[in-house]
Chains A and B, each alone.
Chain A
Amino acid sequence: MALSPSSRFADSGSSSRGAARILSGLLEARTGQILSENRAWRMETALKPVLRSHGLADIDALAARLIARKEAALEEDVVNALLNNESSFFRDLQIFDMIHRQILPQIHAQRDDRTLRIWSAGCSTGQEAYSIAIQLCNDMARWRGWRIEILATDISTAAIDQAKSGIFTQMDVQRGLAVGDLIKWFEPAGDDWCASPVLRQMIDFRTDNLFDHRAPMGEYDLLLCRNVLLYFTLERRQAVFRMLAQHSHARSVLLLGAGETVIGHSEDFVPHPDFRGGYGRRTGTPAQAEAAFRRAV
């Protein structure tokens, strides 16, 4: 991986601007994410564990070592540390209420082959995917006999490892998770809480880069790519939407984060007529949409 300074990095507080540019350049090259000014201040803090574990004095020493040697493991640690892995269960309750009350029932009514495919793209430590799995499990009578596939992907190997473990801190489980769901679907694990095997087995967690996409091919009924695109340039966002379009069918629903939109970024998606804040594929006439959907299923 060639390391080049990021021209966007104007200032990083007390840290060396040169080193900060090199490290932000690494992040952008590996993930497409831009370390914006409002995230730059935390670079040194975020990298402290990496500096400690590799015996480096400061980010200048880190940048020098990255340039001097090709160390994949060190690059991986830096990227994992700089990625924003903030996530919570049922983040934006209204969205999950809409998924539960409107989107999933509509998919249930439409899919004659009794197959439900959901993709959480940029899933971080997995809370979004677990939240949907909890919703489905709480409504198991509806979904009995269905083939349910939940794919959850993220570029961070550390985040995916944590997601797969199903282990969450006390603080994690208190953010968004109702107490009824906590005692029903989680077990104490020391000071932490562990998701039940039922939930963990429902979700296929994979490391995957949205720009070098290797997750299983196919089309998904519900795609969630929330609070991911805000870190990308316009060109990168357009590329992500093209890729998401390839994995959706005429009746798929795409959900983005608050403040994210397809408008001005995608020819493939338009605001969904039924789901406020959701997006659907741009299609022709209703008959054409129906035909495309039938082909897809």
Chain B
Amino acid sequence: MKNCLVVDDSKVIRKVARHILESLDLTVSEAVDGRDALTQCEASAPDVVLLDWNMPVMSGMEFLQALSSAKLTARPKIIFCTTENGVGHIKAAVEAGADEYVMKPFDRETLESKLSIVGVI
């Protein structure tokens, strides 16, 4: 089974995402901010990261920049999942290396679609 790392400072969002992702036959791990996510990625690279934008300690964009210089066995697919829905934010995320972008609120069909586009399911 493929693994998805859910990175969000909201416990509720992590819980909702986990519920959906597990129903799509993914194993799920969680991180509360970018720093936590980076540590987990270096320990065991997930197949895909569902990444919030605004978080304490290390934001999603800072995580993305740090990930590019991190020592990883394989680079995970990155799906931003955020309330930052402006086209400027979307373009910035793509230019920074995000593979996909989910605008909150999201549902099962949206996540399934994006995971399919990046080739995880």
Contacts and interface: CB of A to CB of B under 8 A. Distances in A.
Interface in B28-60: none
A180 B95 CA distance: 10
Given A93-B117, A179-B98, A179-B101, A174 B86 contact: no
Interface stretch (B12-20, B65-73, B102-110): B102-110
B100 interface: yes
Interface in B61-110: 85-87, 90-91, 94, 98, 100-103, 106-107, 109-110
Nearest to B79: A179
Given A179-B100, A179-B101, A170 B85 contact: yes
A173 to B, nearest CB: 9
Contact of B113 (A170, A174, A183, A187): A174
Contacts of B114: 174
B94 A188 contact: no
A178 interface: yes
Interface residues of B, number: 19
B50 to A, nearest CB: 14
B109 to A, nearest CB: 5
Contacts of A175: 109-110, 113
18 contacts: A88-B113, A170-B85, A171-B107, A174-B113, A175-B110, A176-B113, A176-B117, A178-B100, A178-B117, A179-B90, A179-B101, A180-B94, A182-B90, A183-B87, A183-B90, A183-B91, A183-B94, A188-B86
Interface of A: 88, 93, 170-171, 174-176, 178-180, 182-183, 187-188
Interface of B: 85-87, 90-91, 94, 98, 100-103, 106-107, 109-110, 113-114, 116-117
